[in-house]
Structure formats: structure tokens, C-alpha cells
């Protein structure tokens, strides 16, 4: 897979993204996905499913793999998606929403990791990134405060203060969910700056690396 082929793949799948939330969507089980890297090209893809209400872990899976695609901004999904999909296949509990570590529509071609994973699995998804991909004004320092994330003149996501006194996170729609709902779901997963889904999948992944 060359970078050009990867870009063509994104443009081919992009039209399949939906920004609509199914009227009857009930998010009971939320999955967090993340990939950790070793010094060489070894990696560990982890997915943890939480009960959205109690935030208790109800299922998890992790797979070891090799990074066969370099990290290229804009093509991030081609590095992590294969292993993440493998990890998801090992789950026993089917998640109602995927919380990805990275961007969704806040991407140069409007098809970040969250969109890609959502389209490939068909499961609603949202991207939560730690660094922005676009312009924004800082939201108030109050949990829940938010501002638009703009790129090339269009709103591609939202900054979200998940906790007072910390930098905001950057939320963007992945697939089959609207921005308001995406932010609401992310906020209820946050006890500290990052969603519990992200924190737990992150620790599971790096533990697997040892």
C-alpha cells in the first residue's frame, strides 16, 4: 500500500460516512481503542469495553502485531486500523460506540481514523484527539465548555473542556453519530482529562508490550 493508494482509499470510503445518529441509538457499551509501540516495529492494539453508565470494564482484547505502515500525518489509520480491527474481532461484548484515539472528520480529507474505523465496522464512532487539527478559540475553563474546531472554513469538530484546569480535547464525528451526541458521550466518559475508554485501552496496550 503506497501513500497514493492510501489516499485513494480514503476518498473512496469518505462518501460512506454518516453524520446522523440513529433515532433509537442507546449507548450501553462503549469501546476505547488505542495502539502502543515498542522501540522496534512491534505494536499492541488494545480495545476495552465499558458499561457507559457505571464505567466498569465489561470486556477487553489486545493483539500484538507489527507496524507495516509508517506514521504519516493524514494517513494515520493505515498504521493502526488493521491491528485494531483484529482486536475487535476478539470481543465478546459488541460495543454500541467506538471512541478512537485520534481525529474523525477533523482531517485534511475529512476521513480520520475514527471515520475509517466506523465505516469499516459499521459501528457508530467518535474521534477524541489530544492535539488539534484546525483552528479554534479556547473554551471557558469549565467542565463541558466547548468551541468550534474549524478547518478550511468549515466546522469539523469541537474543542471540549473535559475537566477544569486542563487543556481541552478535540472531538470530531467518526461515523453514524452527530457532533452534539458525540460530545455528550465523550463528556460522560471523562473523570480526568481523557475518556476512561482511552485511558484503559492505553494502559492495556502498553502492558501487553511487556
Residue among 164, 206, 202 at smallest CA distance from 32: 202
Q: What SS3 state is found at 79?
A: helix
Q: Are 176 and 21 in contact (CB under 8 A)?
A: yes
Interface pick for DNA out of 46, 133, 177, 187 (rule CB under 7 A): 133
Does 102 bind DNA (CB under 7 A)? Our answer is yes
**Residues 6+ positions from 171 with CB-CB distance below 8 Å:** 104, 126, 127, 128, 129, 149, 157, 158, 159, 160, 179, 182, 183, 186
Subset of 46-75 contacting DNA (CB under 7 A): 71, 73-75
Q: Does 119 bind DNA (CB under 7 A)?
A: no
CB of 71 to DNA, least distance (A): 4
184 CB-contact burial (10 Å; exposed 0-12 / middle 13-18 / buried 19+)? middle
Q: Pick the binder of DNA from 113, 119, 149, 187 (CB under 7 A).
A: 113
Short-list 31, 146, 39, CA closest to 95: 31
DSSP designation for 14: G
Which of 2, 54, 92, 131 touches DNA (CB under 7 A)? 131
Q: Which of 76, 173, 175, 185 binds DNA (CB under 7 A)?
A: 76
Residues numbered 135-174 forming contacts with DNA, rule: CB under 7 A: 165
Q: How many residues bind DNA (CB under 7 A)?
A: 26
- Shortest spacing between CB 126 and DNA, in angstroms: 12
- Shortest Å distance, C-beta 97 to DNA: 17
Pick one of 21, 36, 60, 159: the residue that binds DNA (CB under 7 A). Answer: 36
Of the residues 25, 58, 206, 208, which one makes contact with DNA according to CB under 7 A: 206
Asked if residues 109 and 74 have their Cβ atoms less than 8 Å apart, the reply is yes
Amino acid at each position: 500500500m503506497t501513500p497514493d493508494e492510501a489516499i485513494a482509499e480514503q476518498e473512496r470510503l469518505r462518501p460512506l460516512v454518516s453524520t446522523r445518529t440513529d433515532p433509537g441509538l442507546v449507548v450501553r457499551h462503549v469501546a476505547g481503542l488505542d495502539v502502543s509501540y515498542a522501540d522496534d516495529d512491534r505494536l499492541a492494539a488494545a480495545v476495552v469495553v465499558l458499561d457507559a453508565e457505571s464505567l466498569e470494564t465489561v470486556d477487553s482484547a489486545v493483539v500484538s502485531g507489527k507496524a507495516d505502515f509508517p506514521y504519516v500525518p493524514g494517513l494515520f489509520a493505515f498504521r493502526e486500523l488493521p491491528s485494531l480491527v483484529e482486536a475487535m474481532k476478539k470481543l465478546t461484548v459488541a460495543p454500541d460506540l467506538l471512541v478512537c484515539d485520534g481525529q474523525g472528520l477533523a482531517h485534511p480529507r475529512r476521513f480520520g481514523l475514527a471515520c475509517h474505523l466506523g465505516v469499516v465496522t459499521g459501528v457508530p464512532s467518535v474521534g477524541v484527539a489530544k492535539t488539534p487539527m484546525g483552528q479554534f478559540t479556547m473554551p471557558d475553563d469549565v467542565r463541558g465548555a466547548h468551541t468550534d474546531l474549524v478547518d478550511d472554513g468549515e466546522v469539523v469538530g469541537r474543542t471540549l473542556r473535559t475537566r477544569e484546569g486542563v487543556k481541552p480535547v478535540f472531538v470530531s464525528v467518526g461515523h453514524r453519530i452527530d457532533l452534539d451526541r458525540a460530545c455528550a458521550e465523550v463528556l460522560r466518559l471523562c473523570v480526568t482529562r481523557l475518556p476512561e475508554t482511552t485511558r484503559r485501552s492505553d494502559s492495556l496496550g502498553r502492558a501487553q508490550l511487556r
